[in-house]
Structure 1
Amino acid sequence: MFIITADQIDSRHTKDAVSGTLTALNTKHARALELPAERTAGDEIQLITDDAHTALTITLGLFRESRWSIGLGVGDVALPLGESTRASTGDAFFAARAAVERAKPRPVRFACEGGERVDRQSVEDFDALVSILLLVLDRRTDGGWEVHDLLAMGMTQAEAAEKLGITAGAVSLRVRAAGIRQEDAAAKALVRMLEELNAMSRIGR
């Protein structure tokens, strides 16, 4: 199971982002969440999913907002789950708590930790590769994100060019500069790594 715990950065001096983020997460990812994402502290959110793609997608989405320290925990959970996310527990929850604390001083404000059944070296490898991807995304321009979002909606590059009022060549340049194709390839590989980590947590259950 995957637990994401995200702590709002500098919440004392910024507008509360928890309510809006929870609404967005519970609307967009409702089918993939084991229980609704919740506020677990004044400026913290937590969610549970058993889907690797969803775990990575949410991680990347929260990073893009630039206002969260993100901890991803992978491991076993106590079953049945509690009546709510806050009422649930298990190794993955403890791992996510350790991860978010480790994430706070890091440049990308992300960290991953595994439960007792998850191989530590495999977790460290995943953590390192995600951090590299996040550094790449952190350098993406607004124009790059603009093209990324249109392609993610299913548009072709030609359609994106028409939508933006620029040439197809200009879109192609943005795709290359933004590393959009490389991000897609990396994300697929990272999802496979997460699936393997999740499988480890089930051994001996």
Structure 2
Amino acid sequence: MFVLTVDQIDSRRTPDRVEPVLQALADRWGDRLLSAPERTAGDEFQLATRDPATALEIVLELARDTVWSIGAGIGDLTSPLGPSVRALSGTAFVNAREAVTAAKKRPDRVALVTDDAEETARVDPLVRLLVALRDRRTAEGWELADLLEQDSALTSKDAAARLGISAQAASQRALTAGLRLETEARPALVALLASADARIGA
């Protein structure tokens, strides 16, 4: 099981961002979550999912905004499952709490904790590495990345035409933004997350 505990950075001096993010998360990933994401205390919220790909997608989406400390916990849930995130418990929640505490002290704002220290040491740095790759992406790189994500059938040449740039310029943007590297790394990372979860449940 994957649990995210997410806390808004510098919330005392910035507007509360939790409610609109909760709605956006529910709209996009609600069918893959155990229940609706929920504010748990102040400017903090939690969500839980059984799907490693969903957990990674949400971590990356939240990290892109740079206003959240994101703790990901992998562990078990106590049965029976409750009707809301607040009603759930288990080591996944304990690990997510430990992770968000660690994330608040890191420049990349992300941490992952599992029930096994060696498993954590294997997976946590790779999640953070992918976040760091995306953190270095320029506005132009994100423009291309978002366009390709919106229409996976687009070729590089098609994307270049839509952006009004040359195919060579689009190729350079993709290289600088690390788009191919991310595309290749994400399935491998999802597999590692799934493996970590399976070991915990074994």
Whether the aligned pair in 2 keeps the contact of 1:157 and 1:171 (CA below 8 Å) is: yes
Q: How many residues align?
A: 200
Matches within 5 A, 1:110-189: 110-115=110-115, 119-153=116-150, 154=152, 155-189=154-188
Normalised by the size of structure 1, how large is the TM-score?
0.95
The 8 Å contact of residues 112 and 124 in structure 1, kept in 2 or not, is answered as no
Structure 1 SS opposite 2:85: coil
What amino acid maps onto 1:185 in structure 2?
E
Alpha-carbon deviation of 1:80? 2.1
One-letter code of the match for 1:57? E
Aligned to 1:54: 54
Unaligned runs of 5+ in 1: none
Aligned ranges 1:16-165 → 2 under 5 Å: 16-115=16-115, 119-153=116-150, 154=152, 155-165=154-164
Shift of 1:188: 1.1
Point out 4+ residue stretches in structure 1 off by more than 3 angstroms. none
Taking every aligned residue pair, what percent have the same amino acid on both sides?
Answer: 47
Cα deviation per residue 1:112-144 (whole Å; 9 max; x = unaligned)? 1113xxx32122111111112211111110000
SS of the equivalent of 1:149 reads: helix
Cα-to-partner distance string for 1:145-167 (whole Å, 9 max, x where unaligned): 11011111212212211211111
Measure the CA separation in 1 of the matches of 2:119 and 2:87.
Answer: 29
Q: Is the CA contact (8 Å cut-off) linking 1:9 and 1:67 kept in structure 2?
A: yes
Please report how far the alpha carbon of residue 79 of structure 1 lies from its aligned counterpart in structure 2 after TM superposition: 1.8
Which 10-residue stretch deviates more, 98-107 or 151-160? 151-160
2:103 maps to amino acid: A
User: Match of 1:107, as an amino acid?
Assistant: P
Task: Provide the C-alpha distance between the structure 2 equivalents of 1:136 and 1:51, rounded to a whole number of angstroms.
Answer: 23
